[in-house]
Structure 1
Amino acid sequence: MISVLNVVLASAISWIGWGVLKRFVLTSSLDNLPGPPSASNLYGNIRDLLSYDGWDYHRHILDTYGRAQKLAGPFGVSIFLTYDPTALHHILIKDQPTFDVVTGYTIPLSDQSLTSTFNHWIGEQHRKQRKMMNPVFSIKHMRDMIPLFYEVTDRLCSSLKTKLRDERQEVDILDWLSRTALELIGQCGMDCSFDSLEGEGNDHPFAQAIKQYARLASGSFGFVLNPFFPYINKWNLPRLKRFTVDHIPIDRVQKLKGVIDVIYNNSRDIIDKKKSALASNDKAVAAEMMKKKDIITILSKLANLEADESSRMTDEEVSGQISLFLFAATDTTSSALARILQILSTNMNAQDKLRKEIRDAERNGQLTYDQLVSLPYLDAVCRETLRLFPPASFASTRIANSDAVIPLSKPIIGKDGKEISEIMIPKGTNILVSITGFNTNPDVWGADALEWKPERWLSPLPQTLGEVRSPGVYSHLMTFLGGSRACIGFKFSQLEMKVVMATLLSSFKFETAPGHKITWKMTSVVAPYVDKPDGPHPGLPILMSVASD
């Protein structure tokens, strides 16, 4: 059987490889663009760019080769990298259907279904599901969720006070923030609890799987596989695909498969319980379910009770949403919160100013939604941190599904010395959107673009921001992207960040913990790692104490 598998794999790889060679390697209209020389025949520039420590290389190519450049991808594929605002507006908004998201890891999970746990929908399917989910992320719904947010963050605050016992102690704040973010999306999104937030650690399989996924799916590993996904996804042979995945002799693939299975099975368990409750013959149970405001209950009602037949979501689609929400709402938000607390631990003036603003607003009790979103310095700190340190350095890879022409905001100089004002993008070209590049572009943000300065949001922003027509859905930034593929949960994320920050800073003081080397790794979601004798481990040790009144 293994020999048959080897033949199938060899044939498939040869066929796909020839397609890649024909379409990308022989010639490319991108060859005249500036860009770094290829570092490897197999990986091109991708291993350097997407390595865990790729910050310096990323900064180098942004500063050296500019707003629109050509990279060498795996197997010699040409990749277009850009942070030009006009190009981004064209790719993400004006001509978005031409530049769709590359499908992610595709692993068959049953005989009947082929699903990618963090798969993106395409075309009309995406538009349909997005329209159905928009009410879940409305301002009205955010207001309704405030009590749930505070219930979770009050538990966090109580546990930390118990741990500190009025003493100044070192705390791994990343672990607590990750647990809190998971519990918040569990309560507000799934109507279930993943963590009591009592004591140290959390062994819930969802939490462990999400942490492992971010590490296993990061770096050049996934990007090398991108050229193969369009071909693999055309094979409607789920049993063969699963069999193939089961027998790939790569430890990382097997671990990733196990992680995705855990997430998928837990997602289906949530769906089954929700469906059972919605269909209950007990009128009291059914009535209670109709009152619930969590994301999945609302999504289930929209999908299965209120939507017409053609618009209803399948269980596979709802499962994909559970997985996506859990991953996106846990790692990205905890990353941003950890970054803010690390910065504030080294900038006591900013921390004291923010604490005073929060405490002054809390004099009449727990903050409402409108009070939270109107705190100017809290808002400025969140915006500035998300600008300079976005949780993801790149957007999901786009791929041109037809030949296209992309205009630039102003001309660049090609390798032949001539000006280029628009770029011909061949069908099948992979496109990398540099979120960091746009958010730190000095032509847009000014000469101090690489400085953390919340005050920039408390005065008129640079005139250049209005001139470049940023496609971002949030504060002129690319952190949450823009257009129909913008992060649908960015309002949820913002509210979560502000509730957690208000709760923690009102009660605690944060200082740098001595004796630790902290590095931020460029995993799929940026995360802090602390050096230990056996190597770097995810974590952010920080000194905490109860803040004086």
Structure 2
Amino acid sequence: MFDFQTLLAAACLVSFGFIGQKLIQRLRRHSIKYLQGPECHSWLVGNLPGIFRAEYAVKNEKRWVEEYGTALHIKGALGSDILYLADPKAMQYIFNTSGYNFHKTRQARVISSLITGKGLSFAEGNIHARQRRIMTPAFHFSTLRVFLPRFRSVAKKTTQKWNEIVQRMGGQGVIEMTSWMSKTTLDAMGETAFNYKFDSLDDGHSDLSRVYTNLIPDSFFKRSDKKLLFEAIWSYIPWWLVTIILRILPTHQLKRIREYMKEARRVARHIIDTARQEHPSVKGGAKDIMSILIKANSSENPKTKLDDESLMAQMTTFMFAGHDTTAATTSWALYHLARHPPAQKKLRDEIRQAKKNAAARGDSDLTIQDLDSMKYLAAVMKETLRYSPILSLLQRQAGRDDIIPLSTPLKTKTGETITSIPVSKGQVIYASIANYNRLKSVWGEDADEWRPERFLDSDYSKKQKTGLGVVANIATFGTGLRSCIGWRFAMTEMQTLLIEFIDMFEYAPVPGKDDIIPATQTIISPMLKGDEGHNQLPLLISPAPDSEDRG
């Protein structure tokens, strides 16, 4: 038997060998140092603190793009070179045109495996294509008709809870939105995707909700130099060693993540076992997520089969991606509407008119077609996704030598003008969703303003030269083969929530607690300036005009 010190020494030797090999490989690549970029004051962590530890999400990155252009050179950890992009044509080439040739970086995949398991967000190449092909029917437009009443039921339960709070406070009260949105979307995801009740809104004893509370801010907000360096080293050591380290290292961050994943897997197993008992044979026409997963698990065809571990990984992936990102975006939508009363009133008027129209034709509730007809609601959602994306950037790595085209000619350090950038296999790329979503060349001179009306301009899309993203040229849901598989699910859920929330209540900033910042974690969530470290969005709510008698 080997003692711990011997194993640790062996691991260190292997690590140093791999790091040396990777550094040598890096020296042989095409250099991107001719590109302009910000100064770097640390060989160990490079410019990474300006991205992952900024008080304001993408604040430094926005300044870089304004100063150096939409393609620039930044330094990563251990002296590495990173190509930072916000150029539309470059991003379209990487995510759409090139297929799987630009894969996720090791660091991005490790973080995916930590918080979601080795599911769809972790998989690459043919494995990803097969998993996505199996899962796609669960997110078909026709399935959303079944989900809509469940989304509405959860939304109404939330408004009932808020109404009780407001009445106790004399007709007006402060609601902390991020925690309520997390509970709401967790319950909605459970009931629609898994036919499972988390009962978060009823203060049920959900261990998953308990271990998830503040997990992401605790783990990824304001990462220290040590954390940034530790995460960077993942790219230089073999995967099996990364797995062992993450399994045994006793840091507070990893302990919390391991506790969450243990509970997420326990819940996933319970849901799977219950579904199998209640539905031992899944009918061929069943299209909900749970049915699709179980059917794939029992398949005899290797092309359509998900083994037990893959099945669990898809479950834990949707538990995270299916509620946390939606919660953040809905919170941001309420924040912007609270700060723009005319927009809030305009949306409320549209909602009430749609409900009147439905009642006039004899329908008690809005249909999917009604949601699609609500142009201002769609504009509010699109503008929120553009202005307040849940992801700052996507990390990719070139799988082969390639040439990335640019939509805007760029001047190098020597003054030469270039229209493309040669990259070598292994080149790390940071594609900035947040900065692309704010480019004035794409969105106009008012790109830094939250203005839903831009999406009501029928000629607006015609003015945009490069198509990117699955919704209105916005990059927030990703684009290409790895775009968010559940984007229709998320849009329908958020629209349904906003319809009930805006119809029932009026929202305003809380005096003295209205300085909300977009905080960079794995996702961008609201935090209160001066009280950072946990997600927080307090809003003052009161019954909306003429809505006191609404159900």
| Matched residue SS, 2:303 | helix
Contact 1:445/1:465 (8 A) holds in 2: no
- Which residue number corresponds to residue 380 of structure 1? 379
State whether residues 472 and 480 of structure 1, in contact with CA within 8 Å, keep that contact through their aligned partners in structure 2: yes
Other-structure match for 1:100: 103
Which of 395, 403, 406 is the equivalent residue of 2:404?
Answer: 406
Distance in 1 between residues matched to 2:477 and 2:507, nearest whole Å: 28
Partner of 1:258: 259
Report the equivalent of 1:479: 476
RMSD of the TM alignment (CA)?
2.6
For residues 276 and 235 of structure 2, the distance between their equivalents in structure 1, rounded to whole angstroms, comes to 33
- Counterparts of 1:71-470 in structure 2, within 5 Å, are 71-103=74-106, 104-105=109-110, 116=118, 119-165=121-167, 167-198=171-202, 204-215=206-217, 216-217=219-220, 221=227, 225-226=231-232, 228-229=234-235, 231-233=237-239, 235=240, 244-279=245-280, 294-305=288-299, 308-363=301-356, 364=359, 365-395=364-394, 397-462=395-460, 465-467=463-465, 469-470=466-467
CA 1:231 to 1:118, structure 2 compared with 1: closer, same or farther past 3 Å? farther
Residue by residue, what CA displacement relative to the aligned partner does 1:244-282 show, whole Å, maximum 9, x if unpaired? 445425332333333322223322332233234333xxx
Q: How has the CA–CA distance of structure 1 residues 211 and 423 changed in structure 2, closer, same or farther, with 3 Å as cutoff?
A: farther
Instruction: Give CA deviations for 1:264-306 in whole Å, capped at 9, x if unaligned.
Output: 3322332233234333xxxxxx58x88865312232224424x
TM-score, with length taken from structure 1: 0.89
Counterpart amino acid of residue 486 in structure 2: G
Q: C-alpha displacement at 1:462, in angstroms?
A: 4.1
SS of the residue 2:534 aligns to: strand
How far 1:515 sits from its partner (Å)? 2.3
Aligned residues: 527
Secondary structure (helix, strand or coil) at the match of 1:69 reads strand
- 1:282 matched residue in structure 2: none
Deviations 1:377-420 (A, max 9, x none): 1111111111111111112x111122111111232111121111
Q: Shift in Å at residue 168 of structure 1? A: 0.5
1:333–1:497 Cα contact (<8 Å) kept: yes
Contact kept in structure 2, 1:380 and 1:458, CA below 8 Å: yes
Tell whether the 8 Å contact from 1:107 to 1:245 is kept in structure 2 after alignment: no
What secondary structure, in the 3-state scheme, does the structure 2 residue paired with 1:311 have? Answer: coil
Sort the Cα spacing of 1:138 and 1:471 in 2 relative to 1 into closer, same or farther, 3 A.
same
**Alignment partner of 2:154: what SS?**
helix
Give the direction of change, closer, same or farther, for the CA distance of 1:431–1:461 in structure 2 (3 Å limit).
Answer: farther
| Structure 2 portions without partners, runs of 5+ | 547-551
Q: Secondary structure at the match of 1:415?
A: coil
1:498 Cα deviation after fit: 0.5
Check conservation: 2:264, 2:319, Cα contact below 8 A. Answer: no
Partner of 2:10: 8
Instruction: State the 1:61 CA deviation.
Output: 1.0
Deviation at 1:122, TM superposition (A): 1.0
Determine if contact 1:444/1:464 at 8 Å carries over to the other structure.
no
2:387 alignment partner AA: L
- CA separation of 1:463 and 1:270: change in aligned 2, threshold 3 A: closer
Q: Which residue of 2 aligns with 1:495?
A: 492
1:223 deviates by 7.9
**Which deviations, in whole Å up to 9, do the C-alpha atoms of 1:65-87 show, x marking residues without a partner?**
21111110011111111121211
When residues 59 and 107 of structure 1 are mapped into structure 2, their CA distance, relative to the original with a 3 A threshold, is: closer
> Is the 8 Å Cα contact of residues 461 and 472 (structure 2) preserved in structure 1?
no
User: Shift in Å at residue 203 of structure 1?
Assistant: 5.1
Q: Which letter maps to 1:141?
A: T
User: Deviations for 1:478-504, whole angstroms, at most 9, x for unmatched residues?
Assistant: 111111100011101100110000011
The 8 Å contact of residues 44 and 229 in structure 2, kept in 1 or not, is answered as no
Deviation larger for 6-15 or 61-70? 6-15
Quote how far apart the aligned CAs of 1:360 are: 1.1
The 10-residue stretch of structure 1 (505-514 or 223-232) with the greater mean CA deviation from structure 2: 223-232
Q: Deviations over 1:83-116 (max 9, x none)?
A: 212111111111122101224227999xxxx954
Read off the aligned partner of 1:460 and give its amino acid letter. Answer: S
- Partner Cα separation in structure 1 for residue 249 and residue 189 of structure 2: 34
In the alignment, the residues of structure 2 paired with residue 277 and residue 213 of structure 1 have an alpha-carbon distance, to the nearest angstrom, of: 33
Identity of aligned residues (%): 27
Using the alignment, how far apart are the partners of 2:479 and 2:242 within structure 1?
A: 34
Q: Is the 8 A contact 1:119 1:320 kept in 2?
A: no
* Residue aligned with 1:548, SS: coil
Paired with 1:106 and 1:62, the residues of 2 have a C-alpha distance of 26
Residue deviations 1:420-442 (CA, integer Å, cap 9, x gap): 12111111111111001211111
Q: What per-residue deviation string (whole Å, max 9, x for no partner) do you get for residues 321-356 of structure 1?
A: 112212112121111111111111122111111111
The answer on whether the counterparts of 1:392 and 1:525 sit within 8 Å (CA) in structure 2 is yes
Task: Give the secondary-structure state (helix, strand or coil) at the position aligned to 1:49.
Answer: helix
1:480 aligns to what SS in structure 2? coil
Per-residue CA distance 1:163-189 (angstroms, 9 max, x = gap)? 222611111122111111111111111
Preserved CA contact (<8 Å) 1:85 1:409: yes
Q: Secondary structure of the equivalent of 1:120?
A: coil
Aligned to 1:283: none
Q: Distance in 1 between matches of 2:256 and 2:328?
A: 23
Q: CA deviation at 1:518?
A: 2.8
Q: Distance in 2 between matches of 1:107 and 1:332?
A: 14
- 2 CA distance for matches of 1:56 and 1:101? 24
1:115–1:448 Cα change, 3 Å: closer
Say which SS state the counterpart of residue 542 (structure 1) adopts. strand
1:541 aligns with 2:545: no
Q: 1:213 to 1:359 in 2, by over 3 A?
A: same
Q: Given that residues 107 and 242 in structure 1 are in contact (C-alpha distance below 8 angstroms), is that contact kept between their aligned partners in structure 2?
A: no
- Give unmatched runs, 5+ long, in structure 1: 280-285
Query: Following the alignment from structure 2 to structure 1, what is the Cα–Cα distance between the partners of residues 254 and 49?
Result: 18
Q: TM-score, normalised by structure 2?
A: 0.89
| Contact kept? 1:219, 1:524, Cα under 8 Å | no
